[in-house]
Each structure stands twice: as C-alpha cells, then as structure tokens.
Amino acid sequence: MFSPHGSEEWLKFSKIRKDGTILNFSIQTLPENRFDEFMDFKIKYYVQQEAIHVASGIANNERALEDYRQVYTKLLKHPSIKIVICCLEKDNDESEIVGFSIVKLLKIGEKHNEVVIEPKTELMRRFLEIFERLEKIFVVSDLMKQYNIDSYLDDEGLATHPDYRSYGIAQALIKIRIMLCKTYDVPMTGGWVTSRGTVIAATRQGCVKVFEISQEELGKKLGIELPDNELTHYIYYIVSPSSEKNVCKL
C-alpha cells in the first residue's frame, strides 16, 4: 500500500510559450488539503470530457455528478491509490492544478475491490457496470500472469487542462508512473488510452501496445455509443522501468 497523502515533489520542468512566456510546472503527490480542488478538476476536465465517461451519460447530469463525487471520494482515499497532480506555479507562491494521474497498486493474492460503495443514481450504477465490463475485455490479472509479476500499477485516470495540452504534461505524468514503479518496486504499469493526445504521450514515453479494439466493437461490448474523438481504436499500453532507457526526454 502507498503511504498517506503527502507533499512529495516528483518532478519540475519548464516550457516556453510562443509569446516567450516561461511556464513552470511541478508534479507532486496530491496533498490532502487540495483533494476537493482536485475533484473539481477531475469532474470538469476528465469526467465531462473523457470518451467513456461522456458516453455513460453522467457527464451532463448534476445528480449523477454529485453521486460520482461521493463515490470516488471514498474510492480514491483507499491506501492502494496514488494521486499525483501537475501544477502551474504562480508568482505569488500559489499554484493551479493543470493535470493529474491516478494509479492503483494491485498485488497477486490481495483483494482489489474491497471498498463498499452505494451509488444513489441509476446513471452512476450504470457507469460502474460499464467499467466492470471494460475490466473483463482486458483482464489485468491475466496480464500479470503472462509476465509473471506479482504487483502492478493500474491506471485509474489521467487528464490535463485543455489550455496546457501542448506542453508535455501527459508525458510527464506517465514518466511519474515509471518513477513510482521504481520507488515502490513494482515491475510494470499500464492502462487504457482513450484520447489521441494520450496515445502520443504514451508512445513518446516508451509504452508498448498489448491490446487494441475498434471504437465500434468496444462501444458494442460496453453497451454505449462512444463519441468521435479522432480515435478509431482504443488501446491498452504497458511500460516498465526497465524500458526507460528508450524514453524520450521532456
């Protein structure tokens, strides 16, 4: 299990805008006192924009979004979860959340879904059923057996603010997942990629495609109509610390 939410700083990097302005970013473990701010960001830039979330119907329903917030506040505070945020540093020593990455530590022989949740809306119940189906389309425990590993960092979400999607934030967040693997002695991490930008970031960071399914077929299996987001296929990628020598620099 991960240590309680702290303030570990994992990475700092800078980018230059076209107008010459320097943007300073830092990636850190989510501090407990910023959890509500993080959830606001997650709902606005992940739940309301990520393809499967949108197709589930919860993205534009206020009651379902409030239900989502309550359910995931409980799920994401479990010790098997690690949340890191990317922040844009401001001149007044404050910072703005502009991205996040969530992973869950899975171990052979340990229960992975022991948190009891009680969704209150039909849309939220349907949403959880959709993700149960997704877990059966690509089974992570089978992947772990295939590679003979006893622990794994499973993707639970990654997003960046739309105004900062050309500054390598997604790639940096994937790099942090590799660093987490090293820190916690986990041999591999991976997850579904459902947007074109994240496909590019994953490829640049040395991730390897191990499963692919067409948008149409995935929608049928999940019982939803996926929105057009420039992806004809949805991909499951993996990466391990041992492959980091092939990784592009930020």
Rg of the chain in Å (alpha carbons): 18
- Contact between 82 and 180 under an 8 Å Cβ cutoff? The reply is yes
pLDDT recorded at residue 243? 64
- Contact between 205 and 171 under an 8 Å Cβ cutoff? The reply is yes
Label residue 202 left, alpha or beta by phi (over 0 means left) and psi (-120 to 50 means alpha). Answer: alpha
Using pLDDT thresholds of 50, 70 and 90, give the confidence band for residue 224.
very high
Task: Supply the DSSP string of 22-56, one letter for each residue.
Answer: EEEEEEEEPPGGGHHHHHHHHIIIIITTSHHHHHH
- Contact between 105 and 111 under an 8 Å Cβ cutoff? The reply is no
Instruction: Indicate if the pLDDT at residue 226 is higher than 70.
Output: yes
| Domain boundaries defined on the chain | 9-246
As a whole number, mean pLDDT of residues 103-117 equals: 83
Q: In this structure, how many other beta carbons lie within 10 angstroms of the beta carbon of residue 14? A: 11
Give the tens place of pLDDT for each residue, 114-149: 777 899 999 999 999 999 999 999 999 999 999 999
Label residue 230 left, alpha or beta by phi (over 0 means left) and psi (-120 to 50 means alpha). Answer: left
- Contact between 171 and 193 under an 8 Å Cβ cutoff? The reply is no
Q: Which of 236, 218, 237, 235 is nearest to 227 (CA)?
A: 218
- CB neighbours of 132 closer than 8 A, spacing ≥ 6? none
Fold of the CATH domain 9-246: Aminopeptidase (3.40.630)
Give the tens place of pLDDT for each residue, 62-72: 999 999 999 99
